[in-house]
Chains A and B, each alone.
Chain A
Amino acid sequence: MSARDKILGRLRAHMPAEAMMPPVLEAHYAPRARGESKAERLRRFRTGIEGFQAQVHLTTEDDWPTLLSALCAQKQVHTLMFGGLTPAGRRLMTTRFETTVLRSWEGQVETLKADLFHRVDAALTHARGAIAETGSLILWSSPEEPRTLSLVPPLHFVLLDAATIHPTFFDALRYENWAAGLPTNALLVSGPSKTADIQQTLAYGAHGPKELIVLVINAEGEAS
């Protein structure tokens, strides 16, 4: 008998005859933070993620590329990488950056790995959404925006549409029905990487990005 069959056999021999009633998650979530306005969700998201040392800038659909270019100049970003096939990527292709070299992701990671680790100093990705309760960004990996893009470069810019902020993680995955089809890597990000492993002293810039900057568009008006 295989290890699998032996383990399952032992468990089956002692499994309760009847499974318990499935948990009802709404009972916990329903009374909390519902009917919040879009502005309130943005406010909570912002407080949360700023508490984790991320920077948040409110901008607009028209202006964000210019803001990004200014931030890159200010942070002395030499090379900015992004997914060239996303709508945001296409916008960037037509934006003038004074001091920063724009580079879109081309090909498989194997050909880019050394550059990603040593030469690219910032990346831009878009967020699928965010979570007000905890100040978290939702990133889904895709062929256009591979997962190393938000991980390896030391500075990470994220473009977020304020209309996509959910009250809680539960709301996001339930109402967008994530279970029906997840990407290879779905990710919540709340701030730049950090550690408190040395004498409980908080230090930012552990193994992932050292800085996280969120550009929020569509902050005005109510969500549709």
Chain B
Amino acid sequence: MDYYIEPLKLDCEDLLHRFQETESVRYEVFAAVWRKMDFPSIFYGKMAANEMRAFSRLILTTAYPYFLPPYSFHIRVGGLYLLYGLYNTQLASPKEKIRIALKDWENINKFQEDAMNAQHYDVSYIFRKLISEKAFYFAAMPKHLFFRVKRKTKRPTVCDEFWDRPMRVMDLVTTETLEEIVNVQEHYEKAKQAICGTPGQPDPAINLVSKDLVQRLHSTVVTYHNWLDEAGGKKKERGDADAGEGTSKQSEASQRAERLASIKSKSYGQAVEAVKSRRHRQVEIGSSETGGGQATPRRNKSLKARITKKMTGKVKEEILSGETTTAWRLSIAEQKSKGKTKGKRRFKW
């Protein structure tokens, strides 16, 4: 059955990708994409009853991660709808259940609250409906574990386009990390002074890290944040014009969009606060870089490209190599790669 994992993943991602492109979190929009792809046919074809059950189990396990972080709110909504669709259209009887792991419950709960606060009633309703239909197993882990150490370990992948990237950046560059970097840099400067001949005069040849590293990092993040706000604003406008919503619901729709935006900005809030608290370090860079966030689009683009390349490109590389450790590597990716490689080496029997 394992040979289905890869195509199943690709099919789910294809569906979610199309859903993401609609820029709407409405269930009706999802259902239209679902029907267009004829998704229920994924269960078609002659299969013995037990095969059918195993396949249902596999597809639900495959779809489950899209309902969780690190994926963006939009993808997680799609993940929930996808689980709902698969649960209802599967051909096993009684229906195979969706497994929820205890460790994920808090995240799911938060998601549900966010959806409720943003008045995404369809999201809340579908979740509640699955609960009341007893569609879930409340389990220890998302799947059965058999200590199956595979010879050929498949590298875990997190679909790049579905990440909530802005959050990642904010998570990485916080007050604490900046302070930490300042500390490390102070040590570095001291160490430089200690090893050179003339006391108090570090060798100018040792110049691996620029002195204004922290300021530059800080201002880069602030610019990026502003750029995101702008891009988000544009998206929001387009979202409002979404033809899916009737005219009578127009105001409600825009309200929803605003709420969604506010949910998202909650996660930025933290970083904005961090920025404020460091005002004393901000003197030189403040006005020129962050003033109103009015950078030109071209420049924004290059900034985005730069950050995307630096951040995700590197993240990906490291996930794949699974070796280096970097402060900002995501815990999930780290767990996966570490677990795979080390687990494989350790257990032999």
Q: Do A and B bind each other?
A: no
Residues of B within 8 A of A (CB): none
